[in-house]
């Protein structure tokens, strides 16, 4: 039986700002883009969350919910530096660390002998080390499998710890609401609720074939998760699956020609970002994303081994057609990444953008 810890920093970006600028501590604050530039909230502190402010929310809407909200310009270099401090702490306890983001990671401490091998005590020690050395708080979840460790870290947030022992796991999973399973968003939860399924216990009675028919490949994932089956190992070297760039416009683009004018700059930035990965990865698809003024969005992709401006323009035109004349709020382009194949004499040449 493995011992998995999920560490999640509490409102990380906002917490760093409150630490460095004490005058912000008792105020509702959010790190994000300005309202005038159609920005969005990256994260906010718990005072702001009381007003309904959330990550990924449009800044303008967040200010309507909380007129006293203090907007803070993000300092990514600082957040990265503090994140490295936190990961140095992780490495004292185990080399098996799977980072999910700057402020979140899985740790496998199954073979850690510190604190008598107790995952609970190790998690407490990590949280204490983080606070002592960064003055920031973290929440932790401990469980025998990854997905339940992630669920557990949210139970006593902020600045808390929750442990799901092997003995507690069957009872815990049976009563767990389906929307607590990572990957089950609002739409999926509503779709499951329409079938009368609200908890993992409800879904335990559903045959696998029925779940596959209703949910496709994700049905197989659900079938395992509601039975507390998660054999995924901790992966210290997670492989990046894509590289992308997107921009939200200060004013909506009104038609396809206006959108096409923005495409070259986006593609140029995408080429620049891909250069970091060119030596070890190759492109296997090209993706275009469009978000319309009503916040509905669509993506369209095709197989491609290069960043092709003409192909991107075709995809963009098709995506815009789906909006039936709606104004455009956001454009994005990205590429899927695959391992670099060994070149042979017959290998196709990697073409450049221009």
**C-alpha distances in angstroms, 28 versus 45, 47, 49, 295, 338?**
6, 5, 8, 26, 43
Q: Look at phi and psi of residue 324 and say left if phi exceeds 0, alpha if psi is from -120 to 50, else beta.
A: left
The answer to whether 104 is a known catalytic residue is yes
**Token reading at 53:** 């402010």
DSSP string, 255-304: SHHHHHHHHHHHHHHHHHHHGGGTTTEEEEEEEEEEEETTS-EEEEEEE-
Burial class (CB in 10 A: 0-12, 13-18, 19+), 147: buried
**Of 104, 224, 246, 314, which is the active-site residue?**
104
Backbone φ, ψ for residue 77 (5° rounding)? -65, -35
**Token reading at 13:** 């970006």
Annotated binding site for Mg(2+): 8, 103
**What is the distance, to the nearest Å, from the Cα of residue 305 to the centroid of all Cα atoms in its chain?**
26
**What is the distance, to the nearest Å, from the Cα of residue 149 to the centroid of all Cα atoms in its chain?**
16
Rounded to whole angstroms, the Cα distance separating 275 from 278 reads 5
Annotated binding site: 8, 103
Query: For tokens 């070890």, what's the residue?
Result: 280
Rounded to whole angstroms, the Cα distance separating 128 from 137 reads 8
**Token reading at 96:** 């098996």
Active-site residues, by number, are 104
């Amino acid at each position: 039986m493995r011992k998995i810890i999920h560490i999640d920093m509490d409102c990380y970006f906002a917490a760093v700002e409150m630490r460095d600028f004490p005058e912000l501590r008792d105020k509702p604050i959010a790190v994000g883009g300005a309202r005038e530039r159609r920005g969005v909230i990256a994260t906010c502190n718990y005072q702001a969350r009381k007003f309904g402010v959330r990550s990924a929310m449009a800044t303008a809407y967040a200010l309507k919910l909380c007129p006293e909200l203090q907007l803070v310009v993000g300092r990514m270099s600082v957040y990265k530096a503090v994140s490295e401090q936190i990961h140095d702490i992780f490495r004292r306890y185990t080399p098996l660390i799977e980072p999910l983001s700057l402020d979140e990671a899985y740790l496998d401490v199954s073979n850690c002998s510190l604190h008598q091998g107790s995952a609970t005590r190790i998690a407490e020690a990590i949280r204490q080390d983080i606070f002592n050395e960064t003055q920031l708080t973290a929440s932790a979840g401990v469980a025998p499998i990854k997905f339940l460790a992630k669920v557990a870290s949210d139970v006593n947030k902020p600045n808390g710890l929750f442990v799901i022992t092997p003995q507690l796991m069957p009872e815990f999973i049976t009563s767990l609401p389906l929307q607590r399973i990572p990957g089950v968003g609002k739409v999926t939860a509503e779709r499951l609720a329409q079938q009368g399924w609200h908890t993992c216990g409800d879904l335990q009675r559903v045959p696998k074939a029925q779940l596959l028919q209703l949910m496709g490949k994700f049905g197989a994932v659900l079938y395992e998760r509601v039975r507390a089956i998660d054999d995924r190992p901790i992966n210290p070297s997670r492989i990046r699956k894509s590289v992308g760039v997107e921009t939200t416009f200060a004013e909506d683009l009104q038609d396809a020609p206006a959108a096409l004018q923005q495409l070259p700059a986006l593609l140029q930035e995408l080429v620049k970002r891909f250069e970091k990965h060119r030596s070890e990865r190759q492109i296997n698809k090209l993706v275009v994303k469009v978000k319309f003024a009503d916040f509905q969005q669509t993506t369209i992709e095709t197989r491609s081994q290069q960043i092709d401006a003409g192909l991107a323009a075709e995809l963009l035109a098709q995506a815009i057609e789906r909006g039936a004349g709606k104004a455009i709020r956001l454009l994005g382009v990205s590429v899927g990444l695959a391992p670099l194949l060994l070149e042979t004499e017959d290998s196709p040449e990697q073409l450049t953008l221009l």
